[in-house]
Amino acid sequence: MTFKAAGYCISILGFVSFVLLIGFEDIQIPNKLFWQTTSFISGLVGCFFLYVVKVLNGSEAEQYHYERVSHFVRNGDRILMTLDNCTIKENNYYEDIIHERRSTIRALDDLYDPSRNMEKRYVEQSVIIYKYHNNQSEIRMISQTFYCNSEKLRYYIDSGMVFLFVDKQNKNEYMFTLN
């Protein structure tokens, strides 16, 4: 937080002093170009501090995901996924990618063949379904989408790389991880 505040202060002071120095003449301030350059560089240094703070802290979504993973690792039951205790479902499809850049040549191509400026991409998706047996009932837990085919996901599960973390207090809160 202190680096962020320092970055804002340094950049604001640097850029404001740069703008204010433009209005003065060389007679009033000796070495005006030197002071303008120094204030502009200090403004850039402040912006660099802000950039470093942003990169080091990461985005809010990354922080939320990291906190969620660490919460489940600390407070959850860890279940190793095996091919015997879960099922894998696969959903593969083709996605149309339309080239957005338009030109007169592409417009003429579209008149000849409308699908000429489109490209098809094959998307592979798989999910894991696990049935968690609670004391009284059975809870069906579905993982997030893994962007790989079912054979690759089976390999990860067979290698012991996929875990399910279930919250001890609330069994409806869970998370699948691929290490």
Average pLDDT score, the chain: 83
Statement to judge: residues 73 and 148 lie in one domain: yes
pLDDT at 140: 92
CB-count exposure of residue 46 (10 Å: 0-12, 13-18, 19+): buried
Statement to judge: residues 53 and 66 lie in one domain: no
Give the mean pLDDT of 130-143: 88
Domains of the chain: total:
2
Statement to judge: residues 73 and 118 lie in one domain: yes
Which neighbouring-strand residues pair with 91? Answer: 125
Non-local CB neighbours of 83 within 8 Å, separated by 6+ positions: 154, 157, 158
Statement to judge: residues 94 and 169 lie in one domain: yes
Residue 118, domain extent: 61-178
Least confident of 72-81, 101-110, 125-134: 101-110
Packing angle of the helix pair 2-22, 32-57 (nearest 10 deg): 150
Q: Write the pLDDT tens digit of every residue in 158-175.
A: 999 999 999 888 888 888
117 and 88 Cβ atoms separated by less than 8 Å: no
